């Protein structure tokens, strides 16, 4: 059987999916669209498809259309509907809509442990009788009730279902009122809540974390803590240790080739080209994983929703909707899903404007660039440098929204911002581990595909001239080609062919910037930071960071932007604006720092 896993956002759907499927997962895209699709198997052979979180099946957004079309399709045999016990009245509205589709369905009442601890009580057996749908209380985080859920899910096809709510209405408003009236009548009989006005732990925390005056300083302090953990003594120790392992592996590979009598050309390509370029990127894998771990913990704990709520006050004066905060926060991970996340914005004006500014947020692929420069010039101030870079990206995004939002192309009403604040929770270790493993796999895959191909091309171009004769790097095809373009970057302090080549390589994948420099300078992963000051001043290095932070993103993100905007003309306008602003701010940083120094 093929089960569709459907539910509201923040209902614990992803945690349940991970709990049921474990490592038996596949990640791809829905046919024809770039929205991520997750599939897995449970109970040995049952197929489970994780649908986008929605509040109703009214097809306004892309996520709602995908969920509705998949469930109505012939591929879906049954539905597992996850319901948040702490918000059961609102969640059951989607349950009634799903039941009206006529497919076998099971309701999993999640977070039942939290609900019980708060003093509430739900008569599950009575609820099942009143709505005519099987109901299982579970806690996806702790695993409570999961085995019973699996058992009853497998039995769905053999058990008759007679949902008690009948859709006999034609007008939409009348139907919605009827659904809520039915839900209220059911819950009045089987749901017992805490005393009115009782303050919960979440309320008390929200009094502090969403405080009118203290919320922003607390948000900045939390980001500072994340950067300190990632790039401070702990992160540096782990990264340096891993870098030594990578360097040792490259040295052993070189020694093995020497012992087997490999030609100088073969050794150069494999060691100085492929292994050095890929190794220069892989050495920063621990930093990226620690950063993703921190953001994952903040997301799963419920704090990131509060951050979006808090930042809404800052974004409103710029003409952006608070809804834009969610895809912008996703941009700290990767620009591609962040741009795709703009599909959840129902206002076309907000969607286009958010797509224009999201690439300014520093994605994880740019971390190796910052780490390389920090290790070379500011080894004791890594957290400050990273804080400066991330805040500059945010400032560029917000400032651009304020400017671009006044243009005719972005004229229109700002959509209202409505956001559910989930209760604070302890992150589920298994879900966090699976996310980190997924991110690590994606990073390694890019290192051994795009970046590997790029380093091979860079090595060949830097070792041969246009007559295909071996040549010194300064006389190579690469030096000639990049030398023509390098004049653009002279005012920014890094107008040499080596840095220009690295910038151009970054348009294929931002991680390739570091690998390209390692190949060109013919140095290992450990020696690269020490080698950088020979070619950059501190001011030029910061300028280099700023330009790579803000300029047009990688080709994968560009392709996604084109797909979302639906026009190459508008896409080129976005890329031109991003790269132009990057040049201007890098120029300003270089000359300002140079003036002080």
Torsion sign (Cα): 148, 153, 159, 162: positive
CA dihedral 240, 242, 248, 251 (to 10 degrees): -90
| Nearest C-alpha neighbor of 491 from the set 588, 384, 376, 346 | 588
What is the DSSP-derived secondary structure letter of residue 410? G
pLDDT-derived band at 25 (thresholds 50, 70, 90) equals low
Predicted confidence at residue 30, as pLDDT, reads 55
**Partner residues linked to 36 by β-bridges:** 29
Q: With 50 as the cut, is the pLDDT of residue 34 above it?
A: no
Predicted confidence at residue 196, as pLDDT, reads 44
Calculate what percentage of the chain has a pLDDT beyond 90. 20
- Determine the 3-state secondary structure of 268 from DSSP: helix
Q: Domain spans of the chain?
A: 2-193, 199-597
Q: For the residues 230-235, what does the mean pLDDT come to?
A: 77
CA 503, CA 501: separation in Å to the nearest integer?
A: 5
CB 160 within 8 A of CB 102: no
CA 433, CA 439: separation in Å to the nearest integer?
A: 10
CA angle 409, 410, 414 (to 5 degrees): 155
Residue 156: Cβ within 10 Å count? 19
| Nearest C-alpha neighbor of 345 from the set 318, 323, 314, 316 | 323
- Determine the 3-state secondary structure of 200 from DSSP: coil
The bridge status of strand 135-137 relative to strand 105-110 is: parallel
Q: For the residues 181-207, what does the mean pLDDT come to?
A: 77
Q: How far is CA 432 from CA 295, 301, 429, 509, in A?
A: 10, 11, 5, 26
pLDDT-derived band at 268 (thresholds 50, 70, 90) equals confident
Lowest mean pLDDT among 197-201, 225-229, 250-254, 331-335: 197-201
CATH number of 2-193: 3.40.50.300
pLDDT-derived band at 488 (thresholds 50, 70, 90) equals very high
- Higher-scoring residue by pLDDT: 138, 167: 138
Calculate what percentage of the chain has a pLDDT beyond 70. 90
HEC profile for 166-197? Answer: CCCCCCHHHHHHHHHHHHHHHHHHHEECCCCC
CB 430 within 8 A of CB 19: yes
CA 300, CA 426: separation in Å to the nearest integer?
A: 7
CA angle 390, 393, 397 (to 5 degrees): 145
pLDDT-derived band at 36 (thresholds 50, 70, 90) equals low
Predicted confidence at residue 26, as pLDDT, reads 64
Q: With 70 as the cut, is the pLDDT of residue 299 above it?
A: yes
- Determine the 3-state secondary structure of 295 from DSSP: helix
DSSP string, 46-65: EEEEEPPP-S-S---SHHHH
Residue matched to tokens 């604040």: 421
CB 31 within 8 A of CB 443: no
Q: How far is CA 135 from CA 83, 110, 182, 418, 444, in A?
A: 10, 11, 17, 29, 42
Contacts 24+ apart (CB under 8 A), 197-203: 198/119, 200/118, 200/423, 201/424, 202/302, 202/421, 202/423, 202/424
239: left (phi over 0), alpha (psi -120 to 50) or beta: alpha
Residue matched to tokens 């809509």: 97
Q: For the residues 500-511, what does the mean pLDDT come to?
A: 84
**Partner residues linked to 2 by β-bridges:** 47
| Nearest C-alpha neighbor of 278 from the set 459, 57, 496, 54 | 459
Q: For the residues 292-321, what does the mean pLDDT come to?
A: 79
Predicted confidence at residue 543, as pLDDT, reads 94
Predicted confidence at residue 198, as pLDDT, reads 42
Lowest mean pLDDT among 20-29, 141-150, 162-171, 586-595: 20-29
Cα-trace Rg, the chain: 27
Judge residue 196's burial from the number of C-beta atoms within 10 Å of its C-beta, 0-12 exposed, 13-18 middle, 19 or more buried.
exposed
- Higher-scoring residue by pLDDT: 526, 498: 498
């Amino acid at each position: 059987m093929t089960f569709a896993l459907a539910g509201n956002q923040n209902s614990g759907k992803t945690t349940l999916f991970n709990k049921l499927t474990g490592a038996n997962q596949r990640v791809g895209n829905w046919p024809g669209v770039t929205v991520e699709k997750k599939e897995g198997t449970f109970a040995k052979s049952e197929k489970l498809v994780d649908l986008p979180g929605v509040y109703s099946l009214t097809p306004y957004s892309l996520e709602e259309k995908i969920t509705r079309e998949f469930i109505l399709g012939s591929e879906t045999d049954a539905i597992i509907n996850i319901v948040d016990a702490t918000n059961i009245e609102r969640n059951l509205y989607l349950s009634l809509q799903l039941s009206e589709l006529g497919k076998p369905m099971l309701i999993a009442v999640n977070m039942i442990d939290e609900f019980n601890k708060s003093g509430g009580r739900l008569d599950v057996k009575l609820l099942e009788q009143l709505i005519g749908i099987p109901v299982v209380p579970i806690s996806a985080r702790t695993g409570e009730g999961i085995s019973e859920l699996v058992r009853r899910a497998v039995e769905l096809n053999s058990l008759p279902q007679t949902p008690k709510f009948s859709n006999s209405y034609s007008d939409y408003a009348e139907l919605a009122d009827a659904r809520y009236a039915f839900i209220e009548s059911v819950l009045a009989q089987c749901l017992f809540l805490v005393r009115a006005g009782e303050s919960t732990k979440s309320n008390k925390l929200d009094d502090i974390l969403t405080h009118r005056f203290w919320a922003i300083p607390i948000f900045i302090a939390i980001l500072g803590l994340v950067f300190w953990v990632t790039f401070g003594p702990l992160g540096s120790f782990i990264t340096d240790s891993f870098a030594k392992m990578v360097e040792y592996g490259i040295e052993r590979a070189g020694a093995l080739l020497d012992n087997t009598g490999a030609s100088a050309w073969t050794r150069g390509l494999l060691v100085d080209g492929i292994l050095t370029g890929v190794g220069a990127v892989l050495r920063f894998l621990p930093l990226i994983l620690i950063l993703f771990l921190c953001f994952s913990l903040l997301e799963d704990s419920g704090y990131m929703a509060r951050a979006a709520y808090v930042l809404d006050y800052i974004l409103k004066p710029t003409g952006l909707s608070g809804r834009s905060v969610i895809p912008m926060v996703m941009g700290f991970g990767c620009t591609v899903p962040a741009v795709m996340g703009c599909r959840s914005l129902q206002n076309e004006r907000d969607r286009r404007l958010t797509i224009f500014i999201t690439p300014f947020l520093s994605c994880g692929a740019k971390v190796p660039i910052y780490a390389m420069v920090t290790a070379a010039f500011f080894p004791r101030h890594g957290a400050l440098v990273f804080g400066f870079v991330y805040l500059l990206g945010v400032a560029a995004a917000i400032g651009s929204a304020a400017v671009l939002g006044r243009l005719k192309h972005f004229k229109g009403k700002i959509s209202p911002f409505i956001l559910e604040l989930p209760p604070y929770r302890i992150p589920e270790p298994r879900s966090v581990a699976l996310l980190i493993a997924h991110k690590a796999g994606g990073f390694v895959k890019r290192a051994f595909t795009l970046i590997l191909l790029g380093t091979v091309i860079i090595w060949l171009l830097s070792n041969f001239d246009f007559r295909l004769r071996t040549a010194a790097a300064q006389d190579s095809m690469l030096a000639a080609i990049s030398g023509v373009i390098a004049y653009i970057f002279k005012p920014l302090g890094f107008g040499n062919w080596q840095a220009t080549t690295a910038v151009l390589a970054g348009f294929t994948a931002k991680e390739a910037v570091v690998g390209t420099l390692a190949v060109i300078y013919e140095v290992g992963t450990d020696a690269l930071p020490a080698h950088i000051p020979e070619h950059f001043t501190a001011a030029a290095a910061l300028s280099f960071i700023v330009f790579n932070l803000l300029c047009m993103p990688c080709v994968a993100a560009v392709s996604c932007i084109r797909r979302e905007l639906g026009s190459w003309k508008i896409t080129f306008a976005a890329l031109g604006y991003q790269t132009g602003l990057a040049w201007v701010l890098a120029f300003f940083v270089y000359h300002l720092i140079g003036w002080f120094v």
